[in-house]
Chain A
Amino acid sequence: MKIQTTINGKQTTLEAAPGETLMESLRSQALFSVKHGCETGDCGACGVLVDGLPRASCVTLTAQVEGRAVRTLESLGGPDDLHPLQQAFVDKGAVQCGYCTPAMILAALSLIDRNPEPTVEDVKDALSGTLCRCTGYVKPVEAVLAAARQLHETHA
């Protein structure tokens, strides 16, 4: 099937089998920030944004994003120009093995876009889709709150 979609802002035609998952398609486009975890939608390592909202790409068929905009971590900054969210994760020590990090950052980005002044509970809920075995969640929550404050100040 040919699936017309926008990936990280760029109009793209994906060639995919009807039963192919979005995770597989994105990784075959070398977007390796999308991690291959449980394949059942439970771990959340595969989290991306579809039309600005979090989505588990391992239980989304590529065909489902026809006409939609998909965003992965690669659309944020690179090593030399980190997005404030990425920088906050570094500064707060919120990255250990890093496997959950892309999905958490994208979920946080989606939250802050919709809710520029999130509470701790808002952040915890936004990150609830992605499991983390390393950090115990405290540092990622702190990082998101810090980034939200910084982004809010920048735009105020």
Chain B
Amino acid sequence: MLDHIQSYVRPASVEEALAALSGERTAIIAGGTDLVADGARGVDTLVDITALGLGDIQEAGGEIRLGACVTLHQVAESARIASYLNGIIGEAARASTGSLLRCAATVGGNVVTATPRWDVVTALLAADATVTLTSGETSLADLLSDGFPKGAILTGLRLPATPAGTGSSFHKIAINALDVGIATAAVRLTLDAGRLYGVRVALGCVAEKPVRVRHAEDVLEGYEPTPSRIQEAAENATQGLTIREDVRAAADYRDAMARVAVRRALEEAIGRATR
């Protein structure tokens, strides 16, 4: 029981929802898996956004649009998502949690909390997702580093179309099949005339939130994927990051595993790009 919650509203329009959120101690609830588990401290009004028609996966002009309230279950079951980027987004959705929370957890909620459990955010980062908010659009990478604008509602995510020769991979290192990861890596890249372009390397569970590791990307962008370049990219993957330490891994072990995860994901993505 969250005793301090005094009011629960489920508006029927985005305008109503924004108005309901304008108070001091308000919070958005979609699936509620993080919010209810964490207790929603400092909140007395919950604004349920599941009646705003944000629960669909759509396609428009080659790009995929995920409504904010699309659940990880929908993502995991979607044939369109399975055929995009070698299926890494569905794979990451299934890796994120077991079957119970998947049916409640939403991609929008996962992106906002971006806790280490939600592997799908790492995959979305490698996919170069754009986030649509009521306050405007931003890249997922910028949203994760800049923080969530107060009073705004995240309404959806856009995933770009990719050229032929694109390969992607998601690799999770964890203690067991369902645990929060020690280090997760997601990679997307395109091979054109033997060189790599559009290289995106995302690391989850390592820093406080999922991050694009630009040091690794820069080593590869425009170059041939030789074994020594791949090794160099992996070795540089954690440069500049403050490595998390928790019950699952000490910082030095997590650092080492992050670089292993990146190397494996790079190798697999390059292999897939070649096919």
Given known contacts A21-B1, A130-B98, A55 and B36 CB-to-CB distance under 8 angstroms: no
**B102 to A: closest C-beta gap in Å:** 8
**What residue of chain B has the Cβ atom nearest to residue A49's Cβ?**
B103
- Among the listed stretches A58-66, A76-84, A90-98, which one makes contact with chain B, having 4 or more residues with CB under 8 Å of it? A58-66
| CB-based contact A59/B32 at 8 Å | yes
Give a binary string over B33-52; 1 marks a CB under 8 Å from any A CB, 0 the rest. Answer: 10011001000001010100
Question: Are B6's CB and A18's CB within 8 A?
Answer: yes
- In the complex, which residues 1-18 of chain B have their Cβ closer than 8 Å to any Cβ of chain A? 1-8, 10
A54/B36 in contact, CB under 8 A: no
Q: How far is the CB of B106 from chain A (nearest CB, A)?
A: 12
| Interface footprint category on A | 20 to 34
- Check A129/B101 contact, CB under 8 A, given A18-B7, A40-B37, A61-B29: yes
Interfacial residues of chain B within 172-197, with CB under 8 A of chain A in the complex: 177-178
Q: How many A-B pairs fall under 8 Å by CB?
A: 91
B46 and A56 contact, CB distance less than 8 A: no
Among A19, A61, A125, residue most surrounded by chain B Cβ atoms (within 10 Å):
A19
How many B residues touch A, CB cutoff 8 Å? 30
A46 to chain B: closest residue by CB: B100
Give the complex CA separation of A63 and B5 in angstroms. 12
Across the interface, do B37 and A64 meet the contact criterion of CB distance under 8 Å?
A: no
Q: B98 and A129: CB pair below 8 A?
A: yes
User: How many Å from the CB of A124 to the closest CB on chain B?
Assistant: 9
CA distance in complex: A24, B29 (Å): 19
Main SS of the interface on chain A? Answer: mixed
Chain B residues near A130: list those with CB within 8 A.
98, 100
B99: which of A19, A24, A58, A129 is its contact (CB, 8 Å)? A129
Known: A41-B33, A127-B99. A56 touches B5 (CB 8 A): no
Residue of A nearest to B48 (CB): A64
B6 CB contacts on chain A under 8 angstroms: 18
Minimum Cβ distance to chain A for residue B113 (Å)? 13
User: Considering only CB atoms, which chain A residue lies closest to B101 in the complex?
Assistant: A41
Residue of A whose beta carbon sits closest to that of B36: A59
Contact of B94 among A18, A63, A125 (CB under 8 A): A125
Given A58-B36, A61-B29, A64-B50: 12 more A-B contacts, CB < 8 Å? A1-B8, A18-B2, A19-B1, A40-B37, A41-B36, A41-B37, A50-B103, A53-B73, A63-B8, A127-B99, A129-B100, A130-B100
Interface residues of A (CB under 8 A from B): 1, 17-21, 24, 39-41, 44, 47, 50, 53-56, 58-61, 63-64, 66, 103, 107, 125-130
